[in-house]
Structure 1
Amino acid sequence: MFVEFFEAIRDFTETGGQVLLVIGLLIFVMWLLILERALFYSVWYKGLKKDAVARWNARQDRASWAAEQIRQAMISRLTIKLNGSIPVIQALVALCPLLGLMGTVTGMIEVFDVMAISGSGNARSMASGVSKATIPTMAGMVGALSGVFASTWLTRMSKREKTHLEDAMALDH
């Protein structure tokens, strides 16, 4: 079963060319970062938030200008941790279609090479180049679409958690 799976992947990458391997690696790294962020929100952040709110509530002074500055600093530190690798994920999402376009260009160069060597537009001889032109484009777009949804969700989670943190650490007036 695993042998058939790896053979199918090998055949797919051979059909798509070398750029497809780079796109696959990029998507793998992107999803590792996405899963790390999701794990951070669901596991580690809860403890950090609980600790920050407890430290805030343990303060005697929660109404002065100095207290507001301390509150803002605490919120900022947690916000930086919340956002973590989201900018990197967004950059990887933007790179996916660009690498797909690079695959299109390299595949079309192969098509033109075949046309120059054979001297005709023989469809069978150009098929390999056409597949190397279309498959990386498709893979880049699929990776970008999946990453856009995930990065949007992560950004929304980060903003929501920051708002909850600000509400939990309210100033006394």
Structure 2
Amino acid sequence: MNSLLNTYQQASHILSDLLYQGGWVLSLLLMLSSLLASLLLERYWFRFVSYPKLLRNYQQTQSKTLPLHWQAAAKDLSRRCDLELALGRYLSLIKNLISLCPLLGLLGTVSGMIEVFDNMAVSANSDPQLMAAAIARATLPTMLGMSIALLGIINFTYLKRWSQRSQLNLAATGLSLGSHQ
């Protein structure tokens, strides 16, 4: 228990030191990545837990109402539409959050570089080692923003392709949207 608490304290110290070095943009990137991670986790939960149940429900009710008359067709269309909407939920928001990450990282780098050059002008200190360390700290937000975006793109691409395949499979199981008359 003591070693777990010690590990937690070390991780907390490292994170706070990292946030301090990267400036205010890293805090913003941390919040953005938390939102992105929660949306991605929700989509994975939907993909592996919720959607199979919804699809089974839909298929069971569809087989009970065949042959379709106009009221059953309207209910089937409504259920299918709900499923297709659920398949694409949050994907555009996830895509937009991913595209914001590198931009925020660049904003952090630019503001960090401005701060570095400002400090150099005020102190009249041109020590190359200090300047290199300050520039390395300033580029930290870009690295983090690009890393978050890369992980986000990998997950988004997987979820988007799965969603598209599921929509095609859903259309193949019965009448597609718009074919009800």
Structure 1 Cα separation of the partners of residues 31 and 162 of structure 2: 26
Counterparts of 1:1-173 in structure 2, within 5 Å, are 1-62=7-68, 71-127=76-132, 129-169=134-174
CA contact (8 A) 1:103 1:136 kept: yes
**Cα offset, 1:140, TM superposition:** 0.2
8 Å CA contact retained: 1:15, 1:132: yes
Contact 1:27 1:143 in 2 (8 A): yes
Q: Give the Cα separation in 2 of the matches to 1:68 and 1:104.
A: 56
Q: State whether residues 114 and 125 of structure 1, in contact with CA within 8 Å, keep that contact through their aligned partners in structure 2.
A: no
Deviation at 1:170, TM superposition (A): 5.1
SS of 1:121's equivalent in the other structure is coil
**Using the alignment, how far apart are the partners of 1:61 and 1:145 within structure 2?**
48
RMSD between aligned residues:
2.2
* Cα distance, 1:116 vs structure 2: 1.6
Structure 2 length as normaliser, TM-score? 0.83
In structure 2, runs of 5+ residues without a counterpart are 1-6, 177-181
1:134, 1:3 → 2: CA distance? 26
TM-score of the superposed pair, with normalisation by structure 1: 0.87
**1:133 shift after superposition:** 1.8
Provide the rounded CA distance (Å) in 1 between the counterparts of 2:123 and 2:117.
10
Alignment match, 2:4: none
Q: Distance in 2 between matches of 1:71 and 1:128?
A: 63
List alignment gaps of at least 5 residues for structure 1.
Answer: none
Question: CA, structure 1 residues 110+127, in 2 after alignment: closer, same or farther (shift >3 Å)?
Answer: farther
| Contact 1:82/1:158 (8 A) holds in 2 | yes
